[in-house]
Structure 1
Amino acid sequence: MTDATPGERIALPCPACSPDVETVHEVLKPGGHVTVRCTDCDHVHKEQIPEDTTLERDVVVSQDGDSFSAKVDVPEEETLAVGEEFLLETEEAIMTVRITSLETAEGREDEASAEAVQTIWSRAVGNVAVNVTMHPKNGRHDETESFKLQVPGDYEFVVGETDTFGDEEFTVEGIHVRDDAHGYEHEKMDFDGDMAFAKDINRLYVRDETSTAWSAW
């Protein structure tokens, strides 16, 4: 990365506050030894940044039922896998996406080297639309309502807990997680205390807790 430009942000260890773990640095002055500033402690220091060999790969991003294509530079030695997340920078925005499939010359794979990958299939997980099926308080399934809820991808839904979004108030009764979600023991969860992140949820089953004012007069 010898072509670093002023204002660019790169990951480097900071000799002042984080010598062993990389932190975000801002490039102040490019050159053979780049002048950088740690964004955590403002320490300014010079670093020689080795040139990375990267491969440009196509990315298809699915977001709220739509999809678009972009490009991403992947380190040549990198191994990619379904379920991994990375930051994708486009002209419109910087977003977090999760790999859902890897297309190679041999077909779709769950894991492949960057060199073998032709297209990275992914979905946006920074902000997501969660499918919700809501049952009324009286339990009548013929009055079941379905809708989508826009929330941050890291929002936690917990079985047995009540959530409020605008005019909607409901108690989570069950969670069905996505195929590309990792770290969950079961695909379907319905025990109190079971938790899943919004970005991992395929469908949320809830009970309506909205109180409706009424009068007998």
Structure 2
Amino acid sequence: MNETQDRIPTPCPACSPELETVHEVLSTGGAVTVRCSECGHVHKVQPEPEREVTVDVVISQDGESVTANVTTPEGETIAVGDEFIVETEEMLATVRVTSVQVGDEKRVEEATADDVVTVWSREVDNVGVNVTIHPQDGSREDSRSTTVYVPGDDEFEVGSVEAFGDDEFEIDAVVVRDDAAGYDRDRYELEGDAVLAKDAKRVYAYDQQTSAWSAW
């Protein structure tokens, strides 16, 4: 029974105890107060319990994977980009759906929970972001890559200078992940553009340490 409906079908103990009639919903709570549209009798009905299913979740983090499970209403839609909290004895993490498996090796963008075999996901509380750093002279031949680890809600802003350990670089562009929502481009390169770390597939930047590219 959907308690948000204005009208619901249910038997009326006064005029139709065996067959359902249309009832107006007067109030909701533990029990739903309704009025029969046939005879006007007001009574309470218990909402039907929502059926739930348990879904396996594979969580990727730093190149490793762990398996957990979550319980959700069977009619709930699970889609790529959805985020939810997974709690196990080993971890408590916010994860983002990257793929939904509904059959043997068949993956789709979304499905209802009762059709889902496995949800593939990645942790987004803390993430590793790949950064390609170019020399200050713009040469691509001597570019190098590194991975920085930051909270998922941190931002990478084009034009800002960031420091991580021995690296200091100015962000030139940010490529957005396929599972990220709310972006109108897959690459941001205008000064002031910002992308959340959990949404960043790769950052391109220019080195800010003058001695970093010395042959000595």
So what's the TM-score if we normalise by structure 1?
Answer: 0.71
SS at match of 1:192: coil
Question: Following the alignment from structure 2 to structure 1, what is the Cα–Cα distance between the partners of residues 98 and 139?
Answer: 37
Find the residue that maps to 1:150 and give its secondary structure. strand
Give a deviation string over 1:55-87, Cα, whole Å, max 9, x none: 111111111112121111112231111100000
The answer for unaligned runs of 5 or more in structure 2 is 1-47
Point out the more displaced range, 146-155 or 157-166: 157-166
Instruction: Find the counterpart in structure 1 of residue 78 from structure 2.
Output: 80
Code of the residue aligned with 1:75 in structure 2: it is P
**Deviation digits for residues 110-167 of structure 1 (CA, Å, limit 9, x no counterpart):** 1111111111111111111100000122222222110110111111001111112233
Aligned residue runs from structure 1 range 156-171, under 5 A:
156-171=155-170
User: 2:188 matched to which residue of 1?
Assistant: 189
Q: TM-score normalised to the size of structure 2? A: 0.71
Counterpart check, 1:59 vs 2:54:
no
| Distance (whole Å) between structure 2 residues aligned to residue 178 and residue 81 of structure 1 | 15
1:184 Cα shift? Answer: 0.9
Residue of structure 1 equivalent to 2:90 = 92
User: Aligned partners of 1:102 and 1:141: how far apart in 2?
Assistant: 38
For structure 1, which runs of at least 5 residues remain unmatched after alignment?
A: 1-49
Q: Which residue of 2 aligns with 1:102?
A: 100
Cα displacement (A) at 1:204: 0.4
What is residue 179 of structure 2 aligned with on the other side? Answer: 180
Distance in 1, Cα, partners of 2:147 & 2:162 = 14
- Matches of 1:212 and 1:52 in 2, distance apart? 63
Q: In the aligned structure 2, how far is the partner of 1:168 from the partner of 1:54?
A: 49
Question: Max radius of gyration: which structure?
Answer: 2
Distance 2:159 2:131 in 1: 15
Match in the other structure for 2:199: 200
* CA distance in 2 between partners of 1:188 and 1:82 (Å): 20
- CA offset at residue 210 of structure 1? 2.3
1:139 aligns with 2:167: no
Match of 1:108, as an amino acid?
R
**CA displacement at 1:171 relative to structure 2:** 0.7
Asked whether 1:210 is paired with 2:209, we answer yes
Structure 1 distance, partners of 2:201, 2:163, is 20
How many residues are paired up? 165
SS for the counterpart of 1:151 is: strand
Distance 1:176 1:71 in 2: 31
- C-alpha separation in 2, matches of 1:51 and 1:131: 46
